[in-house]
Amino acid sequence: MTSMCLYLFFTFLIAVSGEFVWKHHNNEELPLVLEEVHEKCPNITRIYALTETSVNNVPLYVIEFSDTPGFHQPYKPEVKYVGNIHGNEVLGRELLLGLAYNLCEQYIKNDRRIRALIHSTRIHLLPSMNPDGWQLATATGAKDYLIGRTNHHNVDLNRNFPDLDAITFELERQGINHNNHLLRDLTRLAAPLEPETRAVMRWIMSVPFVLSAAMHGGDLVANYPYDESRSGAPASEYSASPDDDTFRELAMAYASAHADMASATRKGCHTTSSDDSVAFNFGKQGGVTNGAAWYSLKGGMQDFNYLATNAFEITLELGCEKYPAASQLLNEWERNKEALLAFMWKVHIGVKGIVSDDSGFIQNAVVSVVNITGPVPRPIRHDVTTGPYGDYYRLLTPGHYEVTASHPGYFPVSRVVTVPHHQTSAHVLNFRLEPTSSWFDSSSFGVYPHGLRDGQPRIYKRSLFQHVARAVLQRRD
């Protein structure tokens, strides 16, 4: 063979052997990598695209890992990673492709930890939420701090989600404890939804996610809710969510398993001198930050997840450079791989269970929690709701809790539980509810799991939920 033939032969071998190459995969190569992983691990993977494409018609591909791909199972929590929401912040995109490849490899090699994870968890990876931005950033040399950040309509996707923080803050001010699934209370959109945003909203409203992380670049920190300040202050105002302790633990799980996100001795990303007292150096605070304590933003995906669904999402800033050179990617994988796994295991903290009655599962039951660890019981004012199998997942840090399951038409049931350290499976706590009366038709109340509790008035009396939800969430055929 001539040397050219040899070269082609080996190129061919590499292509079919499906070895993963650390480089920047373009929008055509991205689905091919996922396809190779699926061919190698057909029993535990599934590839699908979100309901809408990007503005430039690039499909938004997801690869799912599970021992029952395509199906939700009760007691099996769902977790997702979303990369490349800002098109010029590209490390997450490559890390997720590498993660997909490695999960499959380690599964085949019988790695016990990976097999246990995949058998107990449903994992969804969306490597790129903004392929159009990636294309522009890449075509323009990947040099600019802003070019390619937005989608093809010049819209920042991480400002394009409905601002549910404004609703929850208003409810707080009025002392109304209606604290979850707030998309129903939305009366207007500040801006039209971009197709990428709408696709992701439909996704997160239709899959019962429990835990999530969105990947960015430009700093090195794990950022947790809320991203929006209560007063409107643009920066430096800690904006705690009801699950502040849990979110801190989730963020620290990533930061402390990362090579140096949590290192107190590393330099801050934006510090020019050794005196970094003026700029944020997140290593000195454990590699984590509350979003609004850094800077406030409206319309972010993170807070939307928490306030519209049962999912807890944090935001990962994966490095000082938004578009690292291809030669750095393998090293970045080494620096992040433990953290990527450690964070996914966190979907198994707290309690989970099934709410049922004599005849079967109760969907949309409300599960509320009071923290009874300290001397004064403290309600955590963020309830989760049960899914189609009556199943719920309540992430909690170690401690003692009183957990109550309720649904209109049933007597509520409370149980006390201790959440231990180092869980690899949530504590199982099931509830069997008794109807308040046999003739009571609970189904007529099923639509609003929270709205009629305690006879509390709803703040937005003329909720446009039906209109908005129809416009937002149904397919435009």
Question: Which residues contribute to the site for ligand NAG (CB under 6 A)?
Answer: 41, 43, 245-246, 371, 373-374, 380, 396-397, 399
Cβ closest to Zn ion, residue 105 vs residue 321: 321
Cβ count within 10 A of residue 413: 16
397 contact, one of Zn ion, ligand NAG, none, CB 5-8 Å limit per kind: ligand NAG
Kindly state whether residue 89 participates in binding Zn ion, applying the rule CB under 5 A: yes
Q: Which stretch binds Zn ion (CB under 5 A): 212-220, 256-264, 301-309, 382-390?
A: 212-220
Residue 320 bridge partners (DSSP): none
Cβ closest to ligand NAG, residue 69 vs residue 300: 69
Query: Are the CB atoms for 210 and 77 separated by under 8 Å?
Result: yes
Cβ closest to ligand NAG, residue 379 vs residue 446: 379
Residues in the chain, how many?
Answer: 477
Pairing of β 288-290 and β 209-216: unpaired
Categorise residue 364: left if φ over 0, alpha if ψ from -120 to 50, beta otherwise. left
Which residue's CB comes closest to ligand NAG? 245
The CB-of-261 to ligand NAG minimum distance in angstroms stands at 21
**Cβ-based neighbours of 258, under 8 Å, separated by 6 or more:** 287, 335, 336, 338, 339
Kindly state whether residue 86 participates in binding Zn ion, applying the rule CB under 5 A: yes
Residue 289 three-state SS: strand
Q: Which stretch binds Zn ion (CB under 5 A): 216-224, 267-275, 337-345, 365-373?
A: 216-224
Cβ count within 10 A of residue 358: 8
317 is catalytic: yes
The CB-of-211 to Zn ion minimum distance in angstroms stands at 20
| Helix intervals (H) in 41-181 | 91-108, 112-120, 131-139, 164-173
Q: 326-334 long-range CB contacts below 8 Å, 24 or more apart?
A: 326/22, 326/23, 326/24, 329/22, 329/23, 329/24, 329/91, 329/94, 329/98, 330/22, 332/91, 332/94, 332/95, 333/22, 333/94, 333/95, 333/98, 334/259
Kindly state whether residue 227 participates in binding Zn ion, applying the rule CB under 5 A: no
Estimate to the nearest angstrom the gap between the alpha carbon of 328 and the chain centroid: 26
396 contact, one of Zn ion, ligand NAG, none, CB 5-8 Å limit per kind: ligand NAG
The residue annotated as part of the active site, out of 196, 313, 317, 332, is 317
Cβ closest to Zn ion, residue 340 vs residue 395: 340
111 contact, one of Zn ion, ligand NAG, none, CB 5-8 Å limit per kind: none
The CB-of-283 to Zn ion minimum distance in angstroms stands at 19
The CB-of-217 to Zn ion minimum distance in angstroms stands at 7
86 contact, one of Zn ion, ligand NAG, none, CB 5-8 Å limit per kind: Zn ion
Cβ closest to Zn ion, residue 89 vs residue 249: 89
Active site residues: 317
